[in-house]
Amino acid sequence: MTSKCFFSNCYDDVSCSEHETWLQLSELKMRKNDSKTFQKADNLLEVALLRADFFYQHKFDLEASFICDLHREVLLSQVHSNKSFSSCDMCSNIKGTSSRAKSDLRHVTIGQAITLFEQYRIRNSYGKLICRQCRAAVSSKTENAREILHIDAFECLFDVHSSMLFGRSNGR
Ligand SMILES: [Zn+2]
Ligand SMILES: [Zn+2]
């Protein structure tokens, strides 16, 4: 087997698990996202791509691509189980302070994650918690054109008709 996990490079400290139980990305796409943490993501492939900062992922062969167990675990697990015991994940990076805001927290949206990644070099932020002050800082640096680019790319990637191009209808 020469194929590698599609997400092998998305966290510095996570390396891929053994090959046996890898999951096809087309399979991941079939699983619906029902978590409110990951807003606007329809399926689990979308969640994984967004958390891995692949915002502009072009179309690729989902049946020939895989995710390993470890990356599935990190990319699809809940970020915070209980908001009331949590604090802003962005304060230290954005405001440069060690005190992290604990009130008025929201989950990072796709648009915010794009700005956090591109303007602040903060990786894997989608779905994490962000306070009001950090949201204001992020929105002052947001370029709407970037989110539109993302929407276009994902519309193409998840479009039922154009994905037929890659669909190998049950063998032969
Ligand atoms: Zn992996
Ligand atoms: Zn904050």
Q: How far is the CA of 132 from the centre of ligand 2 (A)?
A: 7
Residue 48 sits in which domain range? Answer: 19-79+146-165
Shared-domain flag, residues 74 and 151:
yes
- Pick the ligand that lies closest to the CA of residue 105: 2
For 52, phi then psi, to 5°, come to -85, 5
- Alpha carbons within 13 A on the beta-carbon side of 72: 18
Token couple for 130:
């962000």
Does residue 110 lie in a domain region? yes
Shared-domain flag, residues 51 and 102:
no
Q: How far is the CA of 85 from the centre of ligand 2 (A)?
A: 15
Shared-domain flag, residues 75 and 87:
no
Q: How far is the CA of 54 from the centre of ligand 2 (A)?
A: 23
Instruction: For the chain, give the number of residues.
Output: 172
Does residue 170 lie in a domain region? no
- Pick the ligand that lies closest to the CA of residue 74: 1
E-assigned strands of 46-166?
A: 66-67, 106-107, 129-130
| pLDDT tens, residue order, the chain (172 aa) | 456 899 999 888 888 988 778 999 999 999 999 988 999 999 999 999 999 999 999 999 999 999 999 999 999 987 766 666 789 999 999 999 889 999 999 999 999 999 999 999 999 999 999 999 999 999 999 999 999 999 999 999 998 665 455 544 443 3
What local confidence, expressed as pLDDT, does residue 171 receive? 39
Q: How far is the CA of 30 from the centre of ligand 1 (A)?
A: 19
Strand-pair partners of 107: 129
Instruction: Calculate the alpha carbon distances from 37 to 43, 106, 127 in Å.
Output: 13, 9, 5
- Pick the ligand that lies closest to the CA of residue 116: 2
Domain total in the chain: 2
Is the whole model's pTM more than 0.95, yes or no? no
- Pick the ligand that lies closest to the CA of residue 130: 2
Shared-domain flag, residues 34 and 45:
yes
Q: How far is the CA of 70 from the centre of ligand 1 (A)?
A: 6
